[in-house]
Structure 1
Amino acid sequence: MRREISYGLRSLRRRPLWMFALWSVPEALPTALSGLAVARAVDDGFLAGRPLVGVAWLASVLVAACAGALGARQVFARLGDLVEPFRDDLVRSTVDGALDRAVRGRSDDGALARLTHQVEIVRDTYAGLLVLVRGFCVTSVGAIAGLASVSPLVLIWTLPPFALGLGLFLATLGLAARRQREYVRSDEDLSTVAGRVLGGARDLAAHGARDWALALAGRSVDAQARAERALARVAALRTLCFAVGGWLPLLALLAAGPWLAARGVTAGAILGGLTYVLIGLQPALGSLVQGLGGSGLRFVVTLGRLLDTAAPPPRPSPASGRPRGGAVSARGLTFAYGPHAEPVLRDLDLDLPAGSHLAVVGPSGIGKSTFASLCAGLLTPGAGTVTVDGSPEPAPDLRVLIPQEAYVFTGTVAENLSYHSADASRARLDRAAEAVGAAGLIARLGGLDAPIRPAGLSAGERQLIALTRAYLSPAPLAILDEATCHLDPAAEERAEKAFAERPGTLIVIAHRISSAERAGTVLVLDGTGAVFGDRATMPERSPMFRELLGHWDAQIQPAS
């Protein structure tokens, strides 16, 4: 439960929280004034034979209530400033967790339910808890301040039992959260077992396994019943806590009435103290017990399930502490699209030093994009390993992939460019755009602050935006999977040269001879094997490379 509470507290934004708290002050006025007004109305008004004075004191509570209503209106107007950023953080965490599992090749059937249902439950309960806790603090602080102003002796008799009840209730919250989790788990287990038993009812009856099935389901039923009884016992403890904190102060004050009167405490002061207990402390504690015992537990349990599936914190790679240059190493790399399919790559060994420039060539459908996805960590090898700077983890700070179909999202130009480098200055964005060749496009769009409508961009324009975004990434390995196929040869050359001069390693899936000509090393995939080596020696070593060179040369020969 500490983890969930800490997460909720960390999500509170400082400025909206202060405004939220400041506008709560007027709302405390009616509670703070109520008992004092009753005491003065009785002592200085009605008992003194001045009814108008008594009425005036009671009317002051009405005026304070109007001020409190204004404060409450402002509080709810600012509630969204606290709740919506919390929801946005939770959505990002949930999506990141689902993407992290997808990258690692693990299915996540519950991601959509978490995103559309559980996140909204947490958002709603979070808002309710903020209102609840704020209301308790406002009411109880106002009542305690009022009790002190009426009579310190009255405060002495009412505050200790109230604090005792509150402390006992807070002490039960950890136990209540555990019992709630056990109940949820038992309910899910019962649903699973019952579904299996009912789904196989005919087979169980045919094989005489009726008693075994009943015993299996019965264990789950008994476990859920135990969990529900344990939850009910916790609810009974909450009722006891409320009785101590809500009713014991009232009984203590009534029992101490003669003692207080003997020490000069007036009837109005005693009546004012009772007012603070009845309309201040008791309702505040009752709302807190009921709210935290219900929506508070739902918040903790549901948020806990979301945090359990969130993306794990970045783990240091085996290369931590060493220079990160994007060195790629493949050992026995094998991959097939299915258990009975012919491998696209088989037993590939490759060492690409940091700072290398590799072009991957081969006929269409031969496995070039598969190799790129394996290097990027988007696919899991069937056998063998591929590492970047010694790390097999698909960490986004090590690798960046630009596919053929570039993705551009709705937002400003700067937001698209700085997606991988949130702290990039505007000058750095401009330099990156100039290097890649996107400066003219950005100027036509209206500058870095111009909004982007993805549907209004051509395929080549989207590639320029995506290339600039990747160029700014801190990842030392950049993989261009035909990421310049929609650019003209001059624009392609400029972009590839910019990435080649960028610190780190560059892998280019070549679709023109010029990409292979610019690379220092070449990997040729021909469907039966792979040939890796210097660009200069590759025509002699690879018949497939010679064939591709002839095909490319024929494409660029002028028509006769």
Structure 2
Amino acid sequence: MNPPNGHAGHAGHAGNRPLRRALRRDPYQLVRLAGWSVAETAPSLVIGLAIARAIDDGFGAGRPATGFAWLALLGGAWLLAAVGARQVVMAVASIVEPFREELLAHVVDDALRHSVMSGRGPGAAAVARSNLQVELARDAFASVITVVRSFAFTVVSVVLGLATLVPEVLVLVLPPFVAGLVVFLLSLRALARRQRDFILADERTAEALATMVGGLRDITACRAEERVADDVGRRVAEQARAARSLARVTALRTLSLAVGGWLPVLLVLAGTPWLVSGGAGAGVILGALAYVTQSLTPALGNLVEGLGINGVRLRVALGRLLRDGDPPVRALGRVAARDGDGGAGAAELRGVTFAYGPHAEPVIDGLDLSIPEGDHIAVVGPSGIGKSTLAALLTGVLAPGSGRVLVRGVPADRLAPADRVLIPQEAYVFRGSLLENLTYLADASREAVDEAVDAVGLANLVARLGGHSAEIDSGMLSPAERQLVALARAYLAPARLVILDEATCHLDPAAEARAEEAFARRGGTLLVIAHRLSSALRARRVLVMDGTSVRLGTHEEMLASSPLYADLAGQWAPSSAQELVP
């Protein structure tokens, strides 16, 4: 789903703000950069003039001393340029490093905020963004500053040098140069869009392949090989289309360089008789060619290469860091609700659409769903279909692209943390006492804690650890034990809406049943992202997400109306406790 144009424009402006702040943070550094840039581009100003005068006024006129003097002037310009280049690097670093620190602070704050809201530690995606994409953005920004600055000062120097040497040649050089530059600048927006599309397509392909490999057993058990193969094939085909589209736009860079960089050389050569008739000597012609071939054409080439690659990378990296969030969850299809209960309830979704990124396919599309107070719903469906996305929307961790998500009449993202609790698959346990972990979300009495421990089946772990005051950390507990601690913590919380997002996947079937039945007795509204079909059998109703529709009803109703659910139920036997596709 593509966002409205206004939204895309707003996002683009948001991505430009850190760049503007970086450039305006210290005006002295910009002045310093400009001064040393003049020194660095000194050879571009004198190269043609020095060659012309060395030939026409020096060697060609029988005055070698004059010729060597002009060449010495050119050599001095190169020495000055070497000093200027070193200072330019330092000036660029003084602008770029604060930009990097600002980006890194934003990413860390964002990762911590999502960690606190979701109850899980910062994931690999957040770490990758802080370590890779921030560095990519920093390096790309430095390259863009260097290239654009060098281009601007070189062009000004060449124009001044040509105007001093032979003004008539500007008629031959400037029109094609400007035309090539315009062609390139007009292609930049399309190039950035195609580059972004290719990166997102590549990520979706990698995500689909990783999910497929990790779920081979469940895919085979559910006889979903054909459907998963079709989905992965679509991702590969999308990436191939994105690559071809990017290649077509990239070809414009070659065209712009040919028109703006090399066509002026041909025009100067073709216009030599005209220039000679106007009094230009051989040295002047060679000097003009030196200005074009040694300064103007390389400057345009560096701009095309720098902006075409690093400029696009900078734009994409900033978009990923500042707007897109975590990598997308794989979607197997578009979701549209076909069932729902009217009236206000514990939670309600009205026309909700959500996609991971402005160009990504919607994971949730036009969903209308009402969950009454006290309901117990199990959510089932293939991996990546949007079950965890639905949970994140209901808890306010994610905001819908369109539509509204209400919990007890309040927008989910404005809901007080105490009004809902989400337990993810990887339960979070912090270093401290067991009692501190259990009462983190509630000021509970010892009697209430004992009741929660017994209800979810945590008593054996409490006894093994030596009581509630035992010091624990994540590393000393197994995944199943961490899940039991998190379940007891949620049981004690005052929240009326509890969402278990595969929060019992590490428990055996009996322990899972005990925990879910405890929450059902606890009261409030319970939403279970089902790991085993037995969770659906214990629920009052079942929400089936199959990639083309959403169906809500009892176990018997879903058997009659949902082919996917009937297929899952047909492959399941209570004695084997076979798992659903997670």
Q: TM-score range by the shorter chain?
A: 0.5 to 0.7
The 8 Å contact of residues 39 and 270 in structure 1, kept in 2 or not, is answered as yes
In structure 2, how many angstroms separate the alpha carbons of the residues matched to 1:173 and 1:307? 21
Q: Secondary structure at the match of 1:227?
A: helix
Moved more, 252-261 or 275-284: 252-261
Name the structure 2 match of 1:293: 308
Matched, 1:277 2:390: no
* Superposition RMSD in Å: 3.5
The equivalent position to 1:234 in structure 2, one of 238, 249, 258, is 249
Structure 1 segment 265-414 matched on structure 2, within 5 A: 265-308=280-323, 382-383=495-496
- Offset at residue 147 of structure 1 (A): 1.1
The alpha-carbon distance between structure 1 residues 73 and 364, as it changes in their structure 2 partners (threshold 3 A), is farther
Moved more, 244-253 or 187-196: 187-196
The alpha-carbon distance between structure 1 residues 116 and 146, as it changes in their structure 2 partners (threshold 3 A), is same
In structure 1, how many angstroms separate the alpha carbons of the residues matched to 2:246 and 2:133? 22
Name the structure 1 match of 2:90: 77
Name the structure 1 match of 2:388: none
The alpha-carbon distance between structure 1 residues 332 and 302, as it changes in their structure 2 partners (threshold 3 A), is closer
Matched, 1:9 2:10: no
Name the structure 2 match of 1:24: 37
The 8 Å contact of residues 104 and 380 in structure 1, kept in 2 or not, is answered as no
The equivalent position to 1:33 in structure 2, one of 35, 46, 50, is 46
Q: Aligned partner of 1:382: which letter?
A: A
In structure 2, how many angstroms separate the alpha carbons of the residues matched to 1:306 and 1:331? 27
The 8 Å contact of residues 27 and 67 in structure 1, kept in 2 or not, is answered as yes
Deviations 1:38-72 (A, max 9, x none): 11112111222222212221221001111111111
Larger radius of gyration: 1
- Offset at residue 121 of structure 1 (A): 1.4
The 8 Å contact of residues 54 and 68 in structure 2, kept in 1 or not, is answered as yes
Deviations 1:67-101 (A, max 9, x none): 11111122222222111111111122222323333
Q: Aligned partner of 1:272: which letter?
A: G
Name the structure 1 match of 2:199: 184
The 8 Å contact of residues 119 and 422 in structure 2, kept in 1 or not, is answered as no
In structure 2, how many angstroms separate the alpha carbons of the residues matched to 1:345 and 1:295? 46
In structure 2, how many angstroms separate the alpha carbons of the residues matched to 1:309 and 1:273? 49
Corresponding residue pairs, total: 342
The alpha-carbon distance between structure 1 residues 26 and 69, as it changes in their structure 2 partners (threshold 3 A), is same
- Offset at residue 196 of structure 1 (A): 2.5
Q: Secondary structure at the match of 1:269?
A: helix
In structure 2, how many angstroms separate the alpha carbons of the residues matched to 1:298 and 1:272? 37
- Offset at residue 29 of structure 1 (A): 1.1
Deviations 1:163-216 (A, max 9, x none): 111111111110001001110111111112222333344554566554433322
Name the structure 2 match of 1:49: 62
In structure 2, how many angstroms separate the alpha carbons of the residues matched to 1:338 and 1:230? 42
Structure 1 segment 205-216 matched on structure 2, within 5 A: 209-216=224-231
The alpha-carbon distance between structure 1 residues 145 and 380, as it changes in their structure 2 partners (threshold 3 A), is farther
Name the structure 1 match of 2:484: none
Q: Aligned partner of 1:185: which letter?
A: L
Q: Aligned partner of 1:192: which letter?
A: E
In structure 1, how many angstroms separate the alpha carbons of the residues matched to 2:60 and 2:48? 16
In structure 1, how many angstroms separate the alpha carbons of the residues matched to 2:169 and 2:281? 11
In structure 2, how many angstroms separate the alpha carbons of the residues matched to 1:285 and 1:225? 30
The 8 Å contact of residues 154 and 270 in structure 1, kept in 2 or not, is answered as no
In structure 2, how many angstroms separate the alpha carbons of the residues matched to 1:200 and 1:366? 39
Structure 1 segment 237-248 matched on structure 2, within 5 A: 237-248=252-263
- Offset at residue 364 of structure 1 (A): 8.0
In structure 1, how many angstroms separate the alpha carbons of the residues matched to 2:235 and 2:419? 45
Deviations 1:106-147 (A, max 9, x none): 755322221122111111221222222222223222222211
In structure 2, how many angstroms separate the alpha carbons of the residues matched to 1:7 and 1:24? 23
In structure 1, how many angstroms separate the alpha carbons of the residues matched to 2:220 and 2:190? 42
The 8 Å contact of residues 25 and 138 in structure 1, kept in 2 or not, is answered as yes
The equivalent position to 1:90 in structure 2, one of 103, 109, 113, is 103
List alignment gaps of at least 5 residues for structure 2: 1-11, 327-396, 398-414, 425-434, 450-491, 498-582
Name the structure 1 match of 2:150: 135
Q: Secondary structure at the match of 2:62?
A: coil
The 8 Å contact of residues 44 and 50 in structure 1, kept in 2 or not, is answered as yes
- Offset at residue 256 of structure 1 (A): 1.2
The alpha-carbon distance between structure 1 residues 62 and 381, as it changes in their structure 2 partners (threshold 3 A), is farther
The 8 Å contact of residues 41 and 54 in structure 1, kept in 2 or not, is answered as yes
Name the structure 2 match of 1:163: 178
Matched, 1:174 2:189: yes
- Offset at residue 159 of structure 1 (A): 1.3
The alpha-carbon distance between structure 1 residues 68 and 3, as it changes in their structure 2 partners (threshold 3 A), is same
In structure 2, how many angstroms separate the alpha carbons of the residues matched to 1:6 and 1:207? 49
List alignment gaps of at least 5 residues for structure 1: 313-329, 349-360, 368-378, 385-560
Counting aligned pairs with the same residue, the percent is: 43
Q: Aligned partner of 1:65: which letter?
A: W
In structure 2, how many angstroms separate the alpha carbons of the residues matched to 1:345 and 1:287? 57
In structure 1, how many angstroms separate the alpha carbons of the residues matched to 2:241 and 2:95? 38
The alpha-carbon distance between structure 1 residues 332 and 42, as it changes in their structure 2 partners (threshold 3 A), is closer
Q: Aligned partner of 1:130: which letter?
A: I
In structure 1, how many angstroms separate the alpha carbons of the residues matched to 2:126 and 2:285? 58
The 8 Å contact of residues 118 and 422 in structure 2, kept in 1 or not, is answered as no
The alpha-carbon distance between structure 1 residues 8 and 310, as it changes in their structure 2 partners (threshold 3 A), is farther
The 8 Å contact of residues 18 and 99 in structure 2, kept in 1 or not, is answered as no
Structure 1 segment 116-127 matched on structure 2, within 5 A: 116-127=131-142
In structure 2, how many angstroms separate the alpha carbons of the residues matched to 1:5 and 1:40? 46
The 8 Å contact of residues 43 and 77 in structure 2, kept in 1 or not, is answered as yes
The alpha-carbon distance between structure 1 residues 366 and 134, as it changes in their structure 2 partners (threshold 3 A), is farther
In structure 1, how many angstroms separate the alpha carbons of the residues matched to 2:81 and 2:67? 22
In structure 2, how many angstroms separate the alpha carbons of the residues matched to 1:381 and 1:133? 57
Deviations 1:9-61 (A, max 9, x none): 32113111111111111112111100000111121112222222122212210
The alpha-carbon distance between structure 1 residues 11 and 333, as it changes in their structure 2 partners (threshold 3 A), is closer
TM-score by length of 2: 0.53
Structure 1 segment 475-514 matched on structure 2, within 5 A: none
Matched, 1:250 2:265: yes
In structure 1, how many angstroms separate the alpha carbons of the residues matched to 2:39 and 2:417? 71
The alpha-carbon distance between structure 1 residues 262 and 333, as it changes in their structure 2 partners (threshold 3 A), is closer
Q: Aligned partner of 2:94: which letter?
A: D
The alpha-carbon distance between structure 1 residues 200 and 252, as it changes in their structure 2 partners (threshold 3 A), is same
The alpha-carbon distance between structure 1 residues 203 and 47, as it changes in their structure 2 partners (threshold 3 A), is same
The alpha-carbon distance between structure 1 residues 234 and 3, as it changes in their structure 2 partners (threshold 3 A), is farther
In structure 1, how many angstroms separate the alpha carbons of the residues matched to 2:446 and 2:152? 68
